[in-house]
Amino acid sequence: MPQLRISNEEYIRRRETLFTRLSDRNVQAIVLFQPHNVSYLTAFGFIPTERPMATVITPNTSALLVPHLEREHAEEFALVDRVDIYPEYPDLRHPMEFMKDLLVDLGLTSATIGVDAEGYGQIYGYRGPRIPELLPDASLVNILDDIEYMQMINSQEELALIRESCRWGNLAHTYLQEYCEVGVSETEISMRASFEATQAMIRTLGTEYRPLTFGMATAFAGFRGQIGKASAMPHSMTSNVKLQAGDVLVTGASAAVWGYGSELERTMIMGEPTAEQARLFNHMLEAQTLALNTLKAGRPCSDVDKAVRRYFKDEGIEETWRHHTGHAKSMLIHEAPFLDVGDDRMMEVGMVFTVEPGVYVPDFAGFRHSDTVAVTEDGFEWLTYYPRDLESMTIPI
């Protein structure tokens, strides 16, 4: 059985590594509000609402501030020394006053504090004071770049979870392709494929399996509205259309495993491809292959996108370009760094990217594969592994 969670030891190492990175800035404590950053250091995954939640970590102790409704949840799952509670939001006393109590109790009234934000985000109607208003004598240091950099470099435990995500995304997509039929709606096909893959995943992984993700908490495969002419819209929306002969289908599949995910996208064609469909499909496949072969530790991310854009120019298809070649992928939908001409950060061993150059012709069709890969010492490792060739992506009707 694969390991289905990040070990407690790794969470502790992350905290120690972060404080080591911040040592030259004399940071005495860390306060994090963003959900994925909180879970990255505490193992506490939660649904963000108007009720603020945050973690406070020092070299010697760790704490969570949560509303009363999250008390049992936090006490059971969070890897912290203490859980502080406030009644509700907005309530008679603002939650951030309880945050002030916590910071004062930890002796941080005039400390140097590393933060990912000065306060809780204004979501779902939340409004409230920020840390500088609560502790005017404290000094804040923005550490968002530091924690984001740590999240870019995936450990062996993280890579194992992403591989597991790929395994079940692959199964979901297998069902999706199998169930594609003329006259059946995208919603019906997606729900059937996602349900069956999820059932198989849960039966196989057993009671230890936890998605630790809000939203997509299972295996999933679908179309997101990229069907027929709408496949030329890279971020279309589901419209519940029925598949027709000749449609180009752009798909997506993934699965959540302990907060980690993957991205598998394919372009499929309902029935024998036309000459123009085949031409554009092959351009997309060539561009993706070129991008994959450009991945290398020690090279700037921009090199990958430059190579793809040169291909588009040399082949005379620049007008079909819409977006950068890819992005990092682990806990969120999109992460930095980006495979884009504007991102010169160096690729490093342990970084995980989606590689997904697309070819789009308005009022005709779009063509995009996306594969999740890890940068290695000598190139890259395929994490997704679904067929890519046109014959495999042609659905008989």
The DSSP string of 347-377 is P-TT-EEEE--EEEETTTEEEE-BEEEEEET
Q: What is the mean pLDDT of residues 219-234?
A: 96
- Name the one residue in this structure whose structure tokens are 């994959």: 292
Q: Confidence band (pLDDT; 50, 70, 90) for 3?
A: confident
Share of the chain above pLDDT 90, in %: 95
Tens digits of per-residue pLDDT, 15-39?
999 999 999 999 999 999 999 999 9
What is the rounded average pLDDT of the residues 217-224? Answer: 90
Pairing of strands 326-328, 335-339: antiparallel
Give residue 216's pLDDT band: very low, low, confident or very high (50, 70, 90).
low
Three-class SS state of 276: helix
For residue 391, what are the contacts with CB-CB under 8 A and spacing of at least 6? none
Burial code (b: 16+ CB inside 10 Å, e: under 16) for 240-258 equals eebbeebbbbbbbbbbbbb
Nearest CA to 46 out of 98, 142, 55 is that of: 55
Tokens of 282: 């092959």
Domain ranges of the chain: 8-151, 153-395
Q: Specify the pLDDT at position 11.
A: 98
CATH topology of domain 8-151: Creatine Amidinohydrolase; Chain A, domain 1 (3.40.350)
Strands 352-355 and 326-328: antiparallel
For position 212, what pLDDT does the model report? 82
pLDDT at 156 over 90: yes
Task: Summarize pLDDT for 164-179 with one digit per residue, the tens.
Answer: 999 999 999 999 999 9
3-state helix/strand/coil string of 75-112: HHHCCCCEEEEECCCCCCCCHHHHHHHHHHHCCCCCCE
**Mean pLDDT on 193-206:** 95
Q: Does the structure show a pLDDT above 70 at 68? A: yes
Distance, in Å, from the CA atom of 180 to the CA atom of 190, rounded to the nearest integer, reads: 9
Q: How confident is the model at residue 217 (pLDDT cuts 50, 70, 90)?
A: low
Mean pLDDT score across all residues of the chain: 96
Answer yes or no: are the C-beta atoms of 371 and 289 closer than 8 Å: no
Asked whether the predicted pLDDT for residue 215 surpasses 70, the reply is: no
Report the sign of the C-alpha dihedral through residues 223, 250, 197, 210, in that order: negative
Helices then strands, each counted (H, E), the chain: 10, 18
Q: Please check the confidence at residue 89 and state whether its pLDDT lies above 70.
A: yes
Instruction: Taking residues 211-234, report their average pLDDT.
Output: 89
| pLDDT tens per residue, range 302-355 | 999 999 999 999 999 999 999 999 999 999 999 999 999 999 999 999 999 999
Q: With 70 as the cut, is the pLDDT of residue 378 above it? A: yes
**Is residue 302 within 8 Å of 117, Cβ to Cβ?**
no
When pLDDT is cut at 50, 70 and 90, the band that residue 226 belongs to is: very high
CATH fit for domain 153-395, picks 3.40.50.2300, 3.40.50.10860, 3.90.230.10, 3.30.420.40: 3.90.230.10
What was the pLDDT predicted at 86?
Answer: 98
| Residue 208: per-residue pLDDT | 87
Identical fold for domains 8-151 and 153-395, yes or no, is no
Question: Range with the lowest mean pLDDT among 57-66, 91-100, 211-220, 381-390?
Answer: 211-220
What pTM value is reported for the model?
A: 0.96
